Structure 1
Amino acid sequence: MSEPVSVSILDREFLIVCTPEERPGLIAAAAYLDGKMREVRNAVRAPGLDRIAVLAALNITHELIALRQRDTIEADSVAQHVRALKNKLEGVLSASVK
């Protein structure tokens, strides 16, 4: 059953409806967004909540894209290592069968 959760972002309260299972994630996301918006506000003294929100969203999106690219690179590296191990195993197994 969904229930409202109060979160504070840049000293403004928002009621957001979510399930009890989603609550911890929502609270963590709101705290992260609040922190990013405060960073932007303090760093650039951007006038207006809209501008602060857009700049914070761009920063968060940049972080997400960088993490995805890193994960892709790491996954490719793991896949290469698995292929190399598979080839070694196949070589050892085929040699032991002969």
Structure 2
Amino acid sequence: MKQMEVTIMGQSYLLGCPPGGEAALTAAVAQVDREMSAIRDAGKVKARERIAVLAALNLAYQLVEAPRETTAAAPSQTPDEPPELDALIKRLDEALGHDGQLL
């Protein structure tokens, strides 16, 4: 397995990468860096760990929503609804309080 050095929010990480996966890993790192930087730049959250958790939740939410959006564009298919995702997001937003909203 190849190792790649990447930078996320100014911090370097050495990551394992399967052969041929360099482009996908680079794209994923760029997406995580953009998400974390946007949360940091909003100024509401300072702790790197909280920024990472919020970024992970935002990216996971986007992954869950992508099939729903595709299904909405093709109404002949039956959507697979995630269990009460809106309620979960509301609970997370309430728990975060002044630290920042999930979305």
Fold match by TM threshold 0.5:
yes
Q: Partner amino acid for 1:53?
A: A
What pairs with 1:51-70 in structure 2 (closer than 5 Å)? 51-70=50-69
Distance in 2 between residues matched to 1:43 and 1:61, nearest whole Å: 20
What stretches of structure 2 of length at least 5 have no aligned partner?
79-103
Unaligned regions of 5+ residues in structure 1, if any?
80-98
Flag the structure with larger Rg. Answer: 1
Q: Secondary structure at the match of 1:21?
A: coil
Flag as ranges the 4+ runs of structure 1 deviating above 4 A.
none
For the aligned residue pairs, the C-alpha RMSD in angstroms reads 1.9
Greater fraction helix: 1
| Identity among equivalent pairs (%) | 33
The one-letter code of the counterpart of 2:56 is A
TM-score normalized with structure 2 length:
0.66
Letter in 1 for 2:51: I
Q: TM-score with structure 1 length normalisation?
A: 0.70
Q: Is the 8 A contact 2:39 2:55 kept in 1?
A: yes
Question: How big is the shift at 1:78?
Answer: 6.6
Shift of 1:76: 4.1
The number of residues matched between the two structures is 78
